[in-house]
A = this chain, B = another copy of it.
Amino acid sequence: MKGVIFIFAIVIVFTQSCNMTKLSNNYSQHRIAIIVHGGAGNYNSKRLSDNKQALYKKYLRQAIDSSFSILESEGSAEDAVIKAISILENAEVFNAGKGSVFNSNAKIEMDASIMRGDTKSAGAVTGLRHIKNPISLAAAVMNNSEHVLLGGEQAEEFAKLYNVEFEREGYFKTEYRYKKYLKAKKRDKVELDHDEKMGTVGAVAIDINGNIVAGTSTGGLNYKKFGRIGDSALIGCGTYADNSSCGISCTGVGEYFIRSSAAHEISSLMKYKSMTLKEAIRSVLFDQIVPMGGRGGVIGIDRNGNIACDFTTKGMFRAWKTISSEKISIFEKQ
């Protein structure tokens, strides 16, 4: 009889425990979320045909669906962000990874950065020419190096130690970008290319444990000169994550995001001025970046899993997915 009662008791405890885990998972899963962007610009909707829009949206969908699957199966925000950005880097239509723009020497020079909101550890890379997925190398720096930012050929030496995938220069080259390079060469002018399609990519995710991770990846500016490094490689400027506030990825004319420490500033406004994520993003874009003469867009997720996106341009390639909502959009604001 004692044995039966004991087994009965164990069954009850076990059932309760399962229910609690389920409840806890349900609770947590309510805040898992992924948001991605593929750049902000003053796109001319006439030049961006329906077919092209559909192509961009296809990749944005792939990015959020793949990342969300990771989050749903209790994977980490870090894996979700790397997955989303890798998909966009591999898509030739964005200015990151394959499809990156050329510098004034007709070379690819890619930058990327990633940051975790729990440990505030970060990794970033600049001036890459042969790394298939710069975001993977940024993550390798974050996880295996005592440094945060590595640059140029020497950063690629580091990549060899961690089995990061290389590609020949030809892999990254697209006819579309090469034509843009030739056009800029004719005028000998750096293009702050946001009046057409810019296409820096980024992602922010929050996982079942409430950890927020943000990442950004870019080919930079078409026909850029003098080894220019933009905000996408810079922690606090193009990318920032802090579990006590938010995760942020920026896109736009990077110089203005550097001068305002944009990603970090959004976090500060939330922490110290009690702004919501949406308010903080809007304030940095319209009260700081625009008055300086800059433009661009920002995506973010706060510690409660709220997502936000805003931009000063006509459009921004973006998509997000949560338990209760999803959206893929280019022009209209949310």
Binding site for B on A (CB under 8 A): 115, 120-122, 126-127, 145-155, 157-158, 190, 192, 224-230, 234-237, 240, 254-255, 258-261, 264-265, 268-269, 272-273, 292
Q: Is the CB of A227 within 8 A of B258?
A: no
Neighbour of A229 across the interface among B150, B230, B254, CB < 8 A: B150
Q: For the A-B complex with A127-B152, A261-B264 known, give 16 more contacts whose Cβ atoms are closer than 8 Å.
A: A127-B227, A146-B255, A147-B226, A147-B228, A148-B255, A149-B229, A149-B258, A151-B152, A152-B152, A153-B227, A154-B225, A154-B227, A155-B227, A157-B225, A261-B261, A268-B268
Report chain B residues within 8 Å CB of A121.
259
Closest to A154 in B: B227
Q: Is the CB of A120 within 8 A of B292?
A: yes
Q: Is the interface of A mostly helix, strand, loop or mixed?
A: mixed
Report chain B residues within 8 Å CB of A237.
235-236
Q: Is the CB of B150 within 8 A of A227?
A: yes
Neighbour of A152 across the interface among B148, B227, B255, CB < 8 A: B227
Q: Is the CB of A236 within 8 A of B258?
A: yes
Neighbour of A126 across the interface among B151, B254, B272, B273, CB < 8 A: B151
Number of copies: 2
Contacts A146-B190, A268-B268, A269-B272: A240 and B226 contacting too (C-beta < 8 A)?
no
Q: Can you list 20 A-B pairs, Cβ within 8 angstroms, ordered by A? A: A115-B259, A127-B227, A145-B226, A148-B259, A149-B230, A149-B234, A150-B226, A151-B151, A151-B152, A152-B152, A152-B227, A154-B225, A158-B226, A234-B234, A234-B236, A235-B237, A264-B268, A265-B268, A268-B272, A272-B272
Neighbour of A258 across the interface among B148, B158, B190, B268, CB < 8 A: B148
Closest to A269 in B: B272
Q: Is the CB of A261 within 8 A of B273?
A: no
Q: Is the CB of B226 within 8 A of A155?
A: yes
Q: Is the CB of A258 within 8 A of B152?
A: no
**Separation of A190 and B150 alpha carbons in the complex (Å):** 14
> How far does the Cβ of A114 sit from chain B's closest Cβ, in whole Å?
12
Report chain B residues within 8 Å CB of A268.
264-265, 268, 272
Report chain B residues within 8 Å CB of A153.
227
**Separation of A88 and B127 alpha carbons in the complex (Å):** 30
Closest to A227 in B: B154
Report chain B residues within 8 Å CB of A226.
145, 147, 150, 154-155, 157-158
Neighbour of A236 across the interface among B229, B261, B272, CB < 8 A: B261
Report chain B residues within 8 Å CB of A269.
272
